[in-house]
Structure 1
Amino acid sequence: MLRIRRLPIDTYPENTAFLLRHANGYSAEQFQALRKIRVTGGSSEILATLALVDDEGIIGHGEIGLGEQAYRRLNLSEGTEVEIAQARPPASLDYVRRKIDGDTLGEAEVGAIIGDIAAHRYSPMEIAAFLVACAGFMSTPETLALTRAMVNVGNRLKWNAPLVVDKHCIGGIPGNRTSMIVVPIVAAHGLICPKTSSRAITSPCGTADVMEVLAEVNLSAEKMAEIVAKEHAVLAWGGRVNLSPADDVLISVERPLRLDTFEQMVASIISKKVAAGSTHLVIDIPVGPTAKVRSQNDAVRLRKLFEYVARHMGLVTKIVFTDGSQPVGRGVGPVLEARDVLAVLRNEPDAPEDLRDHAVALAGHVLDFDPAIEGGKGYSRALELLASGEALAAMERIIEAQGRKPAMPELGGFQHEVKAHRSGRIVAIDCERIAKVARQAGAPMDQGAGLYLMHKIGEQVSKGDTLYRIYAGSQAGLGFGCDCAEENSGYEIG
């Protein structure tokens, strides 16, 4: 028996246990051989990756150290006695090996894999093997099975309303923060819109990252229900309420691998919307030369996959193809994008027109779900709610209800301007490159990091004009961003 010692070490997403290498009455190497151990105390049990410690100041005799994730998931008090044993590999790993060999898996097999992933029985390496195998080939029935499995292993929110709407963009376009404008417009109209969002995977920030600049997003299911009952909508991080929890684990591995296949994307989005209790969903698919979807053929294929899975999951969808040829708005990064959003909601004269127009069009599609609105009139209603200030008022109430931040974080104090290398007209902007520069500068972890774009496609520039300004919270972040921009600014001048 070993006593639990809580160690303030963040090992997300893994459970990690720490054992003293010598003098504990067992051979640590026998556990190290399989790298995983089973930790059991009463009715609580976790599997954890093993790390051996040689410093008795960290772990003493008769103790087992648990990192933050393992300690929270085991849910036993510090000092409680537990037993350890070698962990047997999950049986579902046999299905992963079959997938690696090119087999098509059935619903029960996919369900077993996702169940074990959600229970944190897989290491990141094993999850990566599953993701890469699926990226090689995944059938439409497998995608549906993956979606169902991801819904089944988490919580499901229920709302006392026949119509629960949502809007989601597949991402890939820097600055495309339309959800934070669509949601308050829809809330001002009176429709239920419990918007849950993931954090950024491969982008400089996601909706949850930007909303976190203004308000608390780490909300419980009870708090979300309270806010929606009063304000009709919420803008929260989905990870806290355990909606499709396997997806959050998958995302943590997808992020460094930069994996974002159509099949995994569809399963991720639809599972979270179904789990959030949505009945009607507008999906924004930007199409452009450097977007996630680069051709009309790919857009149609993705649309059909969304429609197939959503239909079988009982979700009404409206798929909208939008312009993904360049970033939306001027800011790229949490603080900069929050400023753009507020400028649009406040109807400021210099607010980004493309962000405003895009958001109003999408809000119109969402409002068209309302049976009380005459067909096609959703756009004019959305425009009215934004222009009148009702959308801004709704956003202010949502921010207040979620927990307003005392002040918006400052922009990064380290700055650099990227100049045009020649005179001419801007003919293209590489969305991937712009996102990479912003991430290298520190976004989204550094909320004040990112880019402010001075020019868009079609505008004339002279040699030496500033194309965009890089912001970073540290000299190192600025250096990484500048090196990335020096290699390729992302702007093509004709």
Structure 2
Amino acid sequence: MNRADGAASMAEHGAVCPSLVETLPDIPRPVLPYERLRRIGIDTGDEYVIYLHEDSPLCRAEGFGAHSRVQIAIGERQLLARLNMVRGAMLTAEEAGLSEPAWLRLNPQPGESAMFAHPASIESLALVRGKIHGLALDSGAFAAIMRDVVARRYSGLELAAFVTACANGHLSLQEISALTGAMVDTGLHLHWPYEVVADKHCIGGLAGNRTTPIVVAIAASLGLAMPKTSSRAITSPAGTADTMEMLAPVDLSLEQMRRVVERAGGCVAWGGSIGLSPADDVMIHVERALDIDSEGQLVASVLSKKIAAGSTHVLIDIPVGPSAKVRSQAEADSLAACLQRVAADFGMRVQCLVTDGSQPIGRGVGPALEARDVLSVLRRDADAPADLRERALLLVTSLLQLIGVTRNRDSARAMATQALDSGAAWVQFQKICEAQGGMRTPGKAAQQYPVLASVAGRVAAIDNRQLSRVAKLAGAPMAPLAGLELHVHLGDCTEAGQPMFTVHAQTRGELAYAMEYVQRHPCIVTLAAGA
């Protein structure tokens, strides 16, 4: 009989396993005073890293080796870090170096000491192994896993194992709902004094398409409460929060966010500064690195944020196109059905709107350039991108119907159009920006280079993914003025030598980097010659 069978047999007969250790010995843990902690200044992203010399007595005392997981505590402040071993004069044997995220999290002060130890075993990994072997997980299992994920107890490899085990249709509808609830429970859950709290989300995959600030402004001008929390870019040239940051501060605390909504009816804030569904923020980095974005994980990611934000009515834009995230109508229908069924488990009303994802929306791709498009539409400029205006009006029309302001589509469209054309939405947007800390004017990149059509013809295709890649290579979103400006759309006729898009960069090196990619990918914009 193996150990597991023996334990099961004893449990069936009411037997109790006696403890083999009545009391734990008082094990001294190595400590280092503040004076021996070094701020290395290395940005390790969202990973905590500790650096020890190869001759460090900590390694000998605790058996630490390269890539070990190390528990570090200063009073009540603690974290799990990955160990990197160093040689030479970077550190002495008696010192410990901390990466920038680890130093900021622990915030060591003079007079304090840091304690080092091996972390406790991660019990929830047994549940992950069960999922790898095809077992279904319940809400309790997902809760245990998510608690360990948020506490950063999982290594990158272990987190990748969990993400992979849940991908490719390996989550049932019940499991998706359980995972969603567990993700919500890892962070704050906002509550608002409004009967209706409106929200919208785009599944993504389109370059540009920065409708959110416009939708929030129109909705708030019509008296709706729309406290919008948005994400920063992970693999795209700009997230909504990155674009909005060109126009107003977005790093709002919960109390600041409440005050903004009370004053202006809506906001566009960065969700990461508030702590909504932090498990999603951890997992999404692994999902993107693995290029895994399966239906179940996408649904849990989107809905956990909306539920945690206190939204009651959510409109979800699902662009469908050959180079969008969702490629077919059948895929869109399946995703929409899953979103609506899981949302119903949490008492939230969701409507999915399948839209054209065949080409970018607007002209700008990158934080500052997209912000300029947003301002152009709200200010009703004569040359404002018509497709961005139309997409925003379409979304507000559907949102008004979903909430029940009016069931008549023509009436909802008229209300949205009037709010935009009268200037009410522009006035409301300025109120939102001022309430968030003051309105800003986006700048322009110093380096610009037009990409010209080699022949005359008609624009037959635009590759969203490659266009976004160009903008990222130019520096977006880290260089917020970088990106590209699109000059043509599907069906447009061009002449040889006419600019198709202009690459924007803040340095000559980044411009050259992006243009080298453009040179190797001549079909980012495809022309039907002679059309």
Normalising by the residue count of structure 1, what TM-score does the alignment of the two structures yield? 0.94
> CA shift at 1:403, angstroms?
1.7
**189, 203, 212: which one aligns with 2:245:** 212
* Aligned residue type for 1:96: V
3-state SS, counterpart of residue 336 of structure 1: helix
Q: Distance in 2 between matches of 1:23 and 1:283?
A: 54
> CA shift at 1:349, angstroms?
0.9
CA deviations 1:205-229 (Å, max 9, x no partner) are 1111100111111111110011111
3-state SS, counterpart of residue 526 of structure 2: strand
**363, 368, 379: which one aligns with 2:413:** 379
**Residues 276-315 of structure 1: pairs in structure 2 closer than 5 A:** 276-315=309-348
**Residues 77-476 of structure 1: pairs in structure 2 closer than 5 A:** 77-136=109-168, 137-373=170-406, 375-376=408-409, 377-404=411-438, 407-411=441-445, 413-476=446-509
Query: Using a 3 Å threshold, how does the CA distance of structure 1 residues 401 and 92 change in structure 2: closer, same or farther?
Result: same
3-state SS, counterpart of residue 234 of structure 2: coil
The equivalent residue for 2:24 is none
> CA shift at 1:72, angstroms?
3.9
CA deviations 1:285-327 (Å, max 9, x no partner) are 0111111111110110000111111111211011111110100
Q: Residue 67 of structure 2 contacts residue 82 of structure 2 at CA under 8 Å; is this kept in 1?
A: no
Q: Residue 393 of structure 2 contacts residue 413 of structure 2 at CA under 8 Å; is this kept in 1?
A: yes
CA deviations 1:5-37 (Å, max 9, x no partner) are 362332231222233332536517811166111
Query: Using a 3 Å threshold, how does the CA distance of structure 1 residues 187 and 53 change in structure 2: closer, same or farther?
Result: same
Moved more, 48-57 or 297-306: 48-57
CA deviations 1:168-221 (Å, max 9, x no partner) are 111110110011100000111111101001112332111111001111111111
Unaligned runs of 5+ in 2: 1-30
* RMSD between superposed Cα atoms in Å: 2.1
Identity %: 44
3-state SS, counterpart of residue 319 of structure 1: strand
* Aligned residue type for 1:2: L
Q: Distance in 1 between matches of 2:233 and 2:42?
A: 23
Structure of larger gyration radius:
2
> CA shift at 1:124, angstroms?
2.4
Q: Distance in 2 between matches of 1:287 and 1:315?
A: 24
Moved more, 284-293 or 135-144: 135-144
Q: Distance in 1 between matches of 2:292 and 2:405?
A: 41
Unaligned runs of 5+ in 1: none
3-state SS, counterpart of residue 214 of structure 1: coil
Normalising by the residue count of structure 2, what TM-score does the alignment of the two structures yield? 0.88
> CA shift at 1:410, angstroms?
2.4
> CA shift at 1:255, angstroms?
3.4
Query: Using a 3 Å threshold, how does the CA distance of structure 1 residues 357 and 49 change in structure 2: closer, same or farther?
Result: same
3-state SS, counterpart of residue 317 of structure 1: strand
Moved more, 425-434 or 354-363: 425-434
3-state SS, counterpart of residue 368 of structure 1: helix
3-state SS, counterpart of residue 339 of structure 2: helix
Moved more, 448-457 or 481-490: 481-490
Q: Does 1:2 align with 2:32?
A: yes
> CA shift at 1:451, angstroms?
1.1
Q: Does 1:478 align with 2:508?
A: no
Q: What is the count of residue pairs matched by the alignment? A: 492
Moved more, 460-469 or 307-316: 460-469
3-state SS, counterpart of residue 57 of structure 2: coil
CA deviations 1:452-483 (Å, max 9, x no partner) are 11111001112222111111122232222212
Q: Distance in 2 between matches of 1:478 and 1:127?
A: 36
Q: Residue 425 of structure 1 contacts residue 460 of structure 1 at CA under 8 Å; is this kept in 2?
A: yes
3-state SS, counterpart of residue 272 of structure 2: coil
Q: Residue 19 of structure 1 contacts residue 28 of structure 1 at CA under 8 Å; is this kept in 2?
A: no
Q: Distance in 1 between matches of 2:85 and 2:111?
A: 19
Q: Distance in 2 between matches of 1:205 and 1:94?
A: 38
